[in-house]
Amino acid sequence: MNLDLLKSWKIWLLILLIVLAIFLISPNFSPKGVEVIVKDKNSTAPVSIGDIIYGINGKDVTTDDITRDYYGVITIGTNKGQKYATMNGTLGIEVRPISFTKLRFGLDIEGGIKAVIEPNISAGDNQTFEQVTTTLQNRINLYGLREMNIVPVFIEDKKLIEISIAGGTKEELRDLLEHKGEFVGKIPLLLKVQQNKSYIELDRKYEYTISNSSFSIDGIEYKEGNTFALAGINMTVEKIASDYANITTTPFTSADIIMVYYGDPDKTSIRPQNGAYEWYFSVKLSDIGAQRFAYITKNIPVRFDTSAGKDYLDSKLYLYIDNALIDELSISGDLKGQVLKEPSITGYSKTLEDATKQMKKLQVILKSGSLPVDVNIVQMQEVPPKLHTDFMTRILLSILAAVAAVSVIIAIRYRKIKFIIPMIVVSMSEVIIILGLSIPMGWTLDLASLAAIIAIIGTGIDSQIILLDQAIRGEEKQMTLKEKIGRAFFIILGAGGTVIAAMIPLVGFGVLRGFAITTILGVLIGIFVTRPAFGEIIKRIA
Amino acid sequence: MNFNIFENFFNRYWKPLTFVMLIVLLASVSILFYNQMAHGSVLKRDVELTGGKEISIEQFSFTAGLNKITEAIPDAEVRVIGNTLIVSLDSTANESQIQQKLQDLGVQGKYSTKFIGPSFSETQWRIAQIAIITAFILMSIVIFVLFRTFVPSIAVILCGATDILVSMAILSIMDVRLSLPVLAALLMLIGYSVDTDVVLTTELLRTKGRDVPGRIKTAMKTGITMTMCALAALTAMYFVSQDPVLQQIATVLIIGLLIDMPATWLTNAGILRWYANRKERKEAG
């Protein structure tokens, strides 16, 4: 009887899929090592995201060993071979224990932060949407190499971006995402009425007049709050008095930033000063921006600052990000009329950690460029990682408990081991195949998917009950076993069809996609693989 | 056990029994209608569908009473799902401050926070409603294609509607909120609740030879085993997983399956029995 079973291709298909699924899941019952999930920008550890670290200096590692300080030359055993590094402090990486399988679990299990972002764009504007996505992706990448997932989500006519990050804090992410990142440098100009000279000199001379609170330059009259451009420099009229006017000039914006310096000790540093920490970094400006600076400063008088013993220009350079003043720089007297190619941005923070974070945030925002539009955070969720082993144990136990509970019901009903064992085996194989298929499909198992899997154990067995009941009914002599199984398949197809029908509306519904896909996949595997195989078994044991 | 008593009772009073679940259905619809009129939605909605902030503390431990929390944080709404404490807040609340307050009160566990923007949650709620209605319509189409006869198809669809609506009414009485996992479970219920009806209807329409009560009995044996298996698996999931999302899903499906039994074996079976009797009489006459 048993050998006869092997003649059926349906059985072979089931066996093939189970083997394939197990191969894909590649269970590992004694996982060793840790996986790198975060690598700081300034980390010198010779590993990258996704690498597996087995040992440091020949000893097996735990997650605690990673956060320790190391000095001198160390050897790191990784899945890419032995690596050597000279360390001076922490490794600057975050890790998680290696998982038992290749299965990928969702953020609600692994922990992390999820944000859903809505860029303020019109419905058909795909180009801007792409640009926003790329900028945000760059920012997160630049901030610290984290394992992240950034996907566009379309809900009705809304275009949203869903960002999931392992580790980090909500505040950090909010800072990175919410900043539009518009960088502007401003220099105020004071224009006075002078007897012999009432002009400013940029690429050429522009004459102005101020009288009775009216101001005109280059023959055009402006009011307070008006903006205009001269020699490619944007200017705003701030105040018009009887004999002077205040003008704000904009020598450069985000578009003029060519490079933000990291790492180069001459161009970026943090040092203790008066009980706090001063940090600075330089940015490289475009030639046009540098030229604008030269034009503007030509018109600013030089003053000798007695306390510093140095010449300074009368106006300062004010730097803004998203309309917030982040720095004001005194301009040295010898820069008057000179091109400024690499201004530096300075700041103070109370602690070294704050200084590092603050500097890094600005560097990242400047480097990734400004977002073309405003963005709104419409959803933000911070999930602590579930204690991995603890949670997995509970899920595994849930699955086993579900199987055990189902077995008890089956045992009460059928009382024959030859029926019970195939039912349980086929039911479990369904779960294994679904899990296995999740890997090549590249989908992460979230909590809802796991719920669907457990529900499938309960309801998947339903079809087998239908098959078995149809097969073992004795009263209808006029129906052959084949006809009975045919009728059973009619029921199974009908029942499966209704489940798929109910799940289809959820496939396009962001958060519940995993649940819907898992359920539909479970039903399809049932209809095309496990039920036909179980039908073959029934034909031989009923 | 002697099942004959049940069988005799069932065979004798099947007509009035048919109406039991219809009355329950009517009562449930009234409850849901009242909710809609009084509160603007059939079920209280969770933060994902109303917008706002939420702090949840999984596997929480807190010895003082929950009213201590509401006293300390008057704007918060506090409730417990399984082993998880949930504190709902306005979207303007400062969740970090409140988390600190909770920790100071001595609420221990695994904290997580959630913020959902009001317009985003409105969109989700609209889609959720569309999803339930679409799922129900698609399910009905599958049933009609399957049986191609009017009365039996309508009976199955009615039974499906009973499962969903009565379950929703019970959830509202239990003060369970409509969250995304609950929504997923309700949709799953639409699919699975009609499984047993399909078994029953197929048995009645496609089996020749046996009398109607005999056919119902055969279908019932299969159907009750099916429901019991599903209930067993879900109960195991509820108690072993200890996870709020899994527990919510399990709760909804367990309630739904418990409702499905009388809906299928009293109402649906009753309607089909009446339909089969009438058909036989017509064929005979």
Query: Nearest CB to B191: which of A394, A490, A503?
Result: A503
Say if B231 is an interface residue toward chain A (CB within 8 Å). yes
Query: Nearest CB to A405: which of B115, B146, B236?
Result: B236
Least trusted range by pLDDT, from A250-254, A392-396, B50-54: A392-396
Query: What tokens does A38 get?
Result: 């975060």
Q: What is the pLDDT of residues A428-437, one digit of tens each?
A: 899 899 999 8
Confidence at residue A2, expressed as pLDDT on a 0 to 100 scale: 58
In A, which residues are within 8 Å of B192 by CB distance? 455, 459, 495, 499
Which B positions 186-225 lie with beta carbon below 8 A of chain A? 187-188, 190-192, 194-195, 198-199, 202, 206-210, 218, 221-222, 225
Work out the pLDDT band at A392, boundaries 50, 70, 90: confident
Q: What is the pLDDT of residues A407-419, one digit of tens each?
A: 999 999 998 888 8
The stretch A190-215 carries a mean pLDDT of 82
CB-side neighbour CA atoms (13 Å) of A340? 26
Of residues B127 and B143, more confidence is placed in B143
Give ∠ CA B254-B80-A388 in degrees, rounded to 5.
80
* Chain mean pLDDT for chain B: 87
B239: closest chain A residue by CA:
A398
Of residues A249 and B190, more confidence is placed in A249
pLDDT above 80: residue A169: no
| Cross-chain residue pair B231–A458, CB shorter than 8 Å | yes
Euclidean distance between CA atoms A113 and A177, whole angstroms: 13
Q: What is the pLDDT of residues B246-273, one digit of tens each?
A: 888 899 999 999 999 999 999 999 999 9
Euclidean distance between CA atoms A217 and A198, whole angstroms: 10
What ipTM is given for this predicted complex? 0.85
Select the residue from A162, A446, A462 to test the B interface by mutation, using most B Cβ atoms within 10 A.
Answer: A462
Residue with tokens 């699924």: A21
Query: Nearest CB to B253: which of A450, A455, A476?
Result: A455
Euclidean distance between CA atoms A143 and A515, whole angstroms: 33
| Cross-chain residue pair B110–A519, CB shorter than 8 Å | no
| Cross-chain residue pair A381–B119, CB shorter than 8 Å | no
Least trusted range by pLDDT, from A28-32, A81-85, A297-301, A531-535: A28-32
| Cross-chain residue pair A475–B210, CB shorter than 8 Å | yes
- DSSP 3-state assignment of A19? helix
Confidence at residue B1, expressed as pLDDT on a 0 to 100 scale: 47
* Chain mean pLDDT for chain A: 83
> In whole angstroms, what separates CA B247 from the centre of its chain?
13
Confidence at residue B142, expressed as pLDDT on a 0 to 100 scale: 93
Query: What tokens does B238 get?
Result: 């509820």
Euclidean distance between CA atoms B197 and A499, whole angstroms: 13
Q: Quote the percentage of chain B above a pLDDT of 90.
A: 39
| Cross-chain residue pair A498–B195, CB shorter than 8 Å | yes
Q: Give A406-451 as a 3 state SS string.
A: HHHHHHHHHCCHHHHHHHHHHHHHHHHHHHHHHCCCCCCECHHHHH
In angstroms, the separation between the Cα of residue B8 and the nearest Cα of chain A is 21
Q: What is the pLDDT of residues A140-164, one digit of tens each?
A: 777 764 667 777 877 777 788 888 8
From residue A422, give the alpha-carbon distance in Å to each of A446, A491, A538, B262: 29, 20, 9, 30
Euclidean distance between CA atoms B280 and B212, whole angstroms: 10
Least trusted range by pLDDT, from A440-449, A469-478, B89-98: A469-478
Pairing of strands A310-321, B52-61: unpaired
Of residues B44 and A387, more confidence is placed in B44
Q: What is the pLDDT of residues B20-33, one digit of tens each?
A: 999 999 999 999 99
Q: What is the pLDDT of residues A314-323, one digit of tens each?
A: 888 898 888 8
- The partner residues of A53 in beta bridges, in order of sequence, read A34, A78
C-alpha torsion sign, points A397, A401, A403, A404:
positive
* B240: nearest Cα among A396, A31, A486, A533: A396
Work out the pLDDT band at A309, boundaries 50, 70, 90: confident
The stretch A443-465 carries a mean pLDDT of 81
Backbone conformation region of residue B54, classed left if phi is above 0, alpha if psi is from -120 to 50, else beta = beta
Confidence at residue A433, expressed as pLDDT on a 0 to 100 scale: 93
- The partner residues of A38 in beta bridges, in order of sequence, read A94, A146
Say if B237 is an interface residue toward chain A (CB within 8 Å). yes
Confidence at residue A167, expressed as pLDDT on a 0 to 100 scale: 66
Long-range contacts of A155-158 (CB under 8 A, 24+ apart): A155/A509, A155/A510, A155/B123, A155/B124, A155/B127, A156/B123, A156/B126, A156/B127, A157/A123, A158/A118, A158/B123
| Cross-chain residue pair B237–A401, CB shorter than 8 Å | yes
In angstroms, the separation between the Cα of residue B82 and the nearest Cα of chain A is 15
pLDDT above 50: residue A306: yes
Confidence at residue B264, expressed as pLDDT on a 0 to 100 scale: 95
* B117: nearest Cα among B182, B49, B180: B49
The stretch A519-533 carries a mean pLDDT of 90
The stretch A315-336 carries a mean pLDDT of 85
- Which regions of chain B does DSSP assign to beta strands (E)? 52-61, 77-81, 84-89, 108-116
| Cross-chain residue pair A394–B195, CB shorter than 8 Å | no
Work out the pLDDT band at B209, boundaries 50, 70, 90: low
| Cross-chain residue pair A466–B222, CB shorter than 8 Å | yes
Q: In terms of pTM, does the model score above 0.80?
A: no
